[in-house]
Structure 1
Amino acid sequence: MKVGIVGANGYSGVELIRLLQQHPYVTIEKIVSHSTHGKNILELYPHLYGVNEMILEKWNLDELSNLDFVFFATPSGVSKDIIPPLLDKGVTCIDLSGDFRLKNAGDYETWYKKTSAPAEYLQKATYGLSEVYRDKIKQAKLIANPGCFPTATLLGLLPALKKQIIHANTIHVDAKTGVSGAGRNANLTNLFTEINENIRAYKVGEHQHIPEIEQVISDISGEQVPITFITHLIPINRGIMCTMYADLVEQVTTEEVHQIYKDMYKDEMFIRIRPIGEWPTTKEVMGSNFCDIGVMVNRRTNKLIIISVIDNLVKGAAGQAMQNMNIINGWEEHIGLNNSPLYP
């Protein structure tokens, strides 16, 4: 299949290049960048010598219309304008930005501070959390790939919500991310001297991923509930850790909850439930499409504690996008993604 990547000059875009290069059924035909078109990708990413030496091109609707799949690794506010005409020409699109995740246009404009995509295209989009919406993804032509924080949060919460063992209105999420989640643009906050030996809370109570998480929780639980969600920037390159707390509906043991998680994810190749008493770390999923989850019941407070980790650029972006492409085409989901995490 012939695929293209729009926004190939960013971290998620170059991660798509890395993963798609090893996919046996895919050829990268076009890489597109608004800001760096005309440059060889090697000028931006010399590590691609001998792997991919393509020229970044301008957006061209007619040329991209000849492709089977186009991935959009663009900043929010870009894909909402350029995906609709490509979709109308029959090309399957997977959007890694937030432009099509929220079904309510007003929510997008409130949280993203930008004009929303046309309502008809918001309704056409399928939310691409692979393990939750697999059946819908199989039929989709437009995938709204989940955000990195929502992926880690929702995969951690899903079994507890589905089995109704927690009160959904008591969910608190303490989320931490590596610096690559902020993109490659120069920014004072992202300077080494600002990040090193430092932890910074940001977008407190205002993060654009909050309504996305709440939308899926509402879909799963049948309740429209607000969550407490606080994000922190930490001095690592890759990785997300979400530590979640919620009140239990009734008394259960750690062993019982652990079995619920193991049973629900027993057929999911990219979800790894850690043994009781063992907590996942970001380094243990780095470079992979895995989501590792640990659970514990705090008997003293009758709260469920969940810790979920992913690589924000793989399972949180490019890897899940490729997993969704595999689902749409009826291919084994692990194709192109069946690699062990990098360690150390």
Structure 2
Amino acid sequence: MNAAITGVTGYAGMQLYALLQEHPEVETINVYQHDLDDAIPLVDLNPRLNLPHPQLAYPYDSQEIMANNDLIFLATPAGVAINLAEPFLKAHFPVIDLSGDFRLKDPAEYEKWYHLSPAKETDLQNAYYGLADIYENPGASYIANPGCYATATLLGLAPAVMGDLIEPDSIVVDAKSGLSGAGKSLSSSSHFSRSNENLQIYKANQHKHIPEILAELSKWNPKVQHLQFMTTLVPIDRGIMATIYAKVKPGIDEMAILNYYHDLYDEDPFVQICDDYLPDIKSVIGTNNCKIGLTFNPVTGYLTIDAVIDNMLKGAAGQAIQNMNQLLNYPVTAGLELTALAF
């Protein structure tokens, strides 16, 4: 299988390239870049991709991509995929889009949260939201890979919301992310002197993953109409911890909650329920796993859900590979049998 990537200079693109190199079904990885007039060595585009066997990066051409590849990954910033998608959509050529451009079905919602012009509504409706541990691809060729915060939050909440275990208006999410989640572009909040030994709340009530999360929660339970969602940058390279609070409905005990979580996830090779402890971020770094811990306070009636992921893997490139495996009927764990870093 030949895979194409555009956007290999970003963190998610670099991680994706590394995973594809080790995937047993991938024979060739072709890299395409918009600002090229001629092919150049890949190492000139990204010095971190200094491979034993030199590879070229090619000028972006959608027709050439479709002629020489079996699918393409778009690891591009918000607003770029909108301008790239049309030829692939018309040809029903497989696309896995790691950006947020096709996650929301309502163009007005995209414009409100992303502050960019949206894709055509018909194109948005044809895109499939690839939350791979919850949904099975119905045969859609354009896959919108979920966001990192959305992945951790939705996996953490899915059993509780689907099972109607919690009060739908009580959900509070306190999500913390390593600096790689902010991307490679430098900002005042990502300077070492600002981020080191510091915690920074950012995009308070304005994070663009909020409508994405709410759209899925309301599908699972239409009574969920809103949630309180806050994000914090923490001085680590990668990883997300979503700490989620929700009031449990009367008559539901801790064992019933735990059983719902096991029923949904016990057959999933990537989601683990931690019965006896609350997982930390380091336990998932370097893997495509999501670990979920639960604790119930009988005094307040609140459930606390602790969901941790590697934002570059489960929150981006790893889930993209998972979606590729689903789409092409490869084993679900192909290329993703990864072990957490030792320390």
Query: What letter corresponds to residue 313 of structure 1 in structure 2?
Result: M
C-alpha contact (below 8 Å) 1:9/1:36 kept by paired residues: no
Report the equivalent of 1:283: 282
- SS of the aligned residue for 2:134 comes to coil
Partner of 2:65: 64
CA distance in 1, matches of 2:3, 2:170: 43
Deviation at 1:205, TM superposition (A): 0.4
- Does the 8 A contact of 1:127 with 1:143 survive in 2? yes
Q: How far is 1:168 from its partner?
A: 1.8
Instruction: For 2:307, give the aligned amino acid.
Output: S
SS of residue in 2 equivalent to 1:210: helix
Label 1:71 to 1:301 Cα distance change in 2 as closer, same or farther (>3 A): same
CA distance in 1 between counterparts of 2:196 and 2:36 reads 29
Larger CA deviation: 60-69 vs 284-293: 60-69
* Residue identity matched to 1:72: L
8 Å Cα contact 2:36/2:60 also seen in 1:
no
In structure 1, distance between residues paired with 2:92 and 2:259: 43
Of 130, 133, 153, which aligns to 2:132?
130
**Matching residue of 1:50:** 51
Q: Tell me what 1:144 maps to.
A: 144
State how 1:237-276 maps to structure 2 within 5 Å. 237-276=237-276
What is the 5 A alignment of 1:1-344? 1-34=1-34, 40-43=41-44, 45-50=46-51, 53-66=54-67, 67-134=69-136, 137-276=137-276, 278-344=277-343
Separation of aligned partners in 1, 2:133 and 2:243: 20
5+ unaligned residues in a row in structure 2: which ranges? none
2-side partners of 1:15 and 1:334: how far apart?
Answer: 17
Instruction: Report the TM-score when normalising by structure 2.
Output: 0.95
Distance 2:300 2:134 in 1: 30
CA offset at residue 62 of structure 1?
1.7
* Residues 179 and 237, structure 2, Cα contact 8 Å, conserved in 1: yes
State the secondary structure of the residue aligned to 2:57.
Answer: coil
Q: Distance between the aligned counterparts of 1:172 and 1:52, measured in 2?
A: 49
User: How far apart in 2 are the matches of 1:141 and 1:52?
Assistant: 32
- Cα shift at 1:322: 0.6
| Cα offset, 1:42, TM superposition | 2.7
Question: Could you list the runs of 4 or more consecutive aligned residues of structure 1 that deviate by over 2 angstroms after TM superposition?
Answer: 32-58, 251-256
| One-letter amino acid matched to 2:207 | H
Secondary structure, counterpart of 2:22 in structure 1: coil
Which stretch of structure 1 is more off in the superposition, 33-42 or 9-18? 33-42
Name the aligned partner's letter for residue 56 of structure 2.
I
Q: Output the TM-score relative to the length of structure 1.
A: 0.95
Instruction: Please tell me whether the aligned partners of residues 20 and 29 of structure 2 are also in contact (alpha carbons under 8 angstroms).
Output: no
Aligned residue for 1:65, secondary structure, equals: helix
Aligned 8 A contact 2:296 2:303 in 1:
yes
- State percent identity of aligned pairs: 40
Question: In the alignment, is the contact (CA less than 8 A) between 1:195 and 1:234 conserved in 2?
Answer: yes
- Alpha-carbon distance in 2 for matches of 1:331, 1:206: 38
Q: Is the 8 A contact 2:109 2:211 kept in 1?
A: yes
Structure 1 114/47 Cα, relative in aligned 2: closer, same or farther at 3 Å?
closer
Code of the residue aligned with 2:95 in structure 1: it is C
> What is the CA distance between 1:32 and its match in structure 2?
2.2
Deviation of 1:35 after TM superposition, in Å, equals: 5.2
After superposition, what is the alpha-carbon deviation per residue over 1:1-49, rounded to whole angstroms, capped at 9, x for unaligned?
1110110110000111110111111134421233578653334654543
Structure 1 portions without partners, runs of 5+: none
Report the AA paired with residue 112 of structure 2: T
Distance 1:205 1:73, change over 3 A: same
- Looking at structure 2, the residues matched to 329 and 52 of structure 1 have their Cα atoms a distance apart, in angstroms, of 27
